Each structure stands twice: as structure tokens, then as C-alpha cells.
Structure 1
Amino acid sequence: MAHIDYHAVLEALQNHRDRCPLCCFLETAESSYFDSLLYSWVGTEGFQDRFLANNGFCPAHAHHLREENDGVAVAMLYAPLLKHRLRWQRRRHRPLRLLRALPRPNLRRDRSPAARGYQAHLTDCPLCDQIALWETHFLHNLLRHQKDPALQEAFRGGTGLCLPHFERLLWGAGKVPAWLASHQDERARTLQEAVEEYAVGSRGRDSTVWRDLLEYMEGPARAVRHRQHRRRFRS
């Protein structure tokens, strides 16, 4: 798991000047998450129970697990989940009798992982939830130490946040420091001018500015966020 404090934020700003530092931080954190999952958590009762209670990963993170090419880990995680989902399917397709409701587990009595998983949805992804917490802590620390000269210098020396993360910062904080907003605006104007030049052909077609545009607008493909935990930040 990634530990996020002032030094983690400053290091991300200093080491990732050509991309969104939070997106880069999340990529590293996700890789660390999967390393811990494959080499420490798989097979442990606590994680297996939480995985079943969440009804597994979302499709995006399940396919990321596939890229790790660890068949034993996938089998250990998903075999119990498959058994649980098949049982759920059979209940769903059971013929109705006199329009009585389908049997559902009594969560007040049954707090087992399978009972909680019965109520879960495919979007209740444990890693998506963790990513939302990482984002919250990173942005919270960014605002908390906004007056630190080293942090300001590191932020201004890079491209700033991608648009989704900047919007989340705005939504959570309501107001951001003038120096940060100014840097974000300048980044957007510079990118817009470069894209317009590329579109009319005045900039070489070998330019990769369109890739920069996509990453700025959407963030990297790996940083999938299906569920956003909208929390207000306090500086």
C-alpha cells in the first residue's frame, strides 16, 4: 500500500514533471498493490473474505490482474467467487411461487463474506475504493502544504494535474491557491495552442501532442476510477 504524506507528494511532483504527478503516483501505487496481492495476500483468510464480500474486482482491474500472468493467484481468488456467483444465478432463476420474493440472506444474522457479496455490485471494487482514498490523501496533502516553497517550485516545474484530478481538487476544496490555478490555466492554454496548430497542419504530423491531449483530458488508461469518493479537503 502506498503511504502518502508531504514527502510522498513532493517526491511525485519532483520526479514526474512531464505528466500528471498524481496519475504517476497512482500507477506506482497500483503496481505495489498487485505485488502485495500476489506475494502476500492471496491465500490469506482476511483478504479472501474481503474479496468475496466485494464480489471481486471491477472488470478493468480484473483484466489488469490477468496481465500479471499468475494463474495460481487468479484460481485461488476467483474459484470461490465463481462458486458464489453460480449460487446467486441459480437463486435468481428459481421459479417464483405465488409471486413470493426470492430468498435473500438476512444480513442482520449472516455477516459472512458470501452474504455481503450477495448485496455487492460489480462496481464495488476494492481497488477502485483504494484509489479514491489515495487520490483524496494526495490532494489533501497538496493543499495542506500549499505554502511550502519547495512544493510550489516542484509543482510549477511540471505540467500540473490532469483535468480530472484538477476538477476533483476544485470540487473537493471549493477554492485552490492562485499560483496553482494560474499554472493549470497556463498548461491548458499551451496545450490548446499546440493542438490547434497540429489540427491545421502547421505542426508536424509526427508530433505527439494528441497523446498529451488525451492524457490531460482523461488521465492514463490504467488509472480507472469507477467510483469517486467525493470528500471535501481541508487545508
Structure 2
Amino acid sequence: MGYVRLVRSGGLHCSSNAARFIPDLQDVVSLVQLCEDAHVSAETIRAAENLDAVINSLTRNFHQDTDYFKLLVDVFAPALRDNKNSHLKNFYLIIPAMTVNFVEHSLAAKDNMSKKNRTGAAFTDDGFAMGLAYMLKVLNQNSSFDSLHWWSGVRRRFIKEREKVEQQRQSGSGVDDKLQQTLALTLSRLQHYQQEFELLYLSVSSARVFFRGDWPVVPNNNNNNNTSTTHSQ
């Protein structure tokens, strides 16, 4: 998918550079018609026909609204949904574990940004979200994954963990400074993890739009005051 996006962007860039000499892409004048009205020679008309063909090709490529993501789905969906790949029917069940692994990897990559040795450092990565949305669409498992209520479950878990740490901090106030520091670090870690899960949720939700999939179910949360990010459907 990244290669397709790269090729498509390169094609648009090339077409835009070549089309910048055309005065109006919305209203392209036919040179053949102008030559015929001017009663020029046959050779000139043939040259005008060639130029018209080139201009039409440029404008068509520049305005072509080809949904390459849909093409990728249409090509691979029949093969991956075939009985020979029946083991993929449960693909959606491994997504929670994959998201946990990705969040840990993303946090480690962001942490490396502030280090002297930035090997493996990164501040953003939409490849996993795009791939996940693509596989869910190809395997027709958007509804199955939504039925797990994974995102709302993760959110509730972090809310409970943060509330537990906050209670410990309040009950142990002024007793042990080291304990307070440990609880503060734990709370900070939980906030970072929750924020990363929220960002991944938004990335996956946005990526699913590219594949014309149904919007993921956004769970109702009565503890909005405890979340760092709110969502609207």
C-alpha cells in the first residue's frame, strides 16, 4: 500500500509539472478545431491531433479519480477469503495483541528521539494502522473486530488503573516520598500508554475511511472527565 501511495503521488507530481503549461485544465481548447477553422495544411492538423492527444492524456491523468485502495481490496479479497485461507477467518482475534505490541514499539521509538543514539527513533508511524484497516476490509472482518469492543475495554482498563493509583497517592500523602515518586511515575506511564492507544484508535478509524469501510463503533464512556481524549462519532 505504501508503494501504491508512493507511485500515485509521484504520478500526480509528474502530471502537475507537465500540465503547468496548459492555461486552463477545466476548459481545454481543441487545437485541431482551431487548425481546421484556420484552413491550415494537413501536416499541421496531424501535428495538432498529436498535441491534443498528449494534452488529453495529461488532463485525464491529472484528474483521474482512481481509488487504488479499492482496487487493492478487489484484487486480493477473493483469494484471502477463499476456503484455502480459512485460518484467516479468525484474524481479528489477534489484533488486540498486535496493538499492544505496536503501542510498546511506538513508545520506545518516541523515547529514542530524545537520546543521543537515535537508532529506531520515530515520532509517527501510520503503516500499522493502514495495514490493519486494509486487512479488516479485505477479510470483511470490520464488524467482527468491532464486536470485541477492544478500544473501549482498553480505555476502561486505563481509567481504573489511574483511579487506583490516584487513590494510593491520596491515602499515602505525606507518608513515604519514595512511594509517592513511584506512584507518580506509574501514573505518568499509564497516561502515556493511554494516549498512545487513543492515537492508534484515531489512526485506525481514519485509515478505514480510505477503504470505504463502516465507521468503527465509538463506545459511550461515562467517565469522560478521566480520559485525556474524547471522541465523537
Length-normalised TM-score, structure 2: 0.39
Structure with larger Rg: 2
Query: Which structure has the higher relative contact order (CA within 8 Å, separation 6+)?
Result: 1
Length-normalised TM-score, structure 1: 0.39
Q: Greater helix share, 1 or 2? A: 2
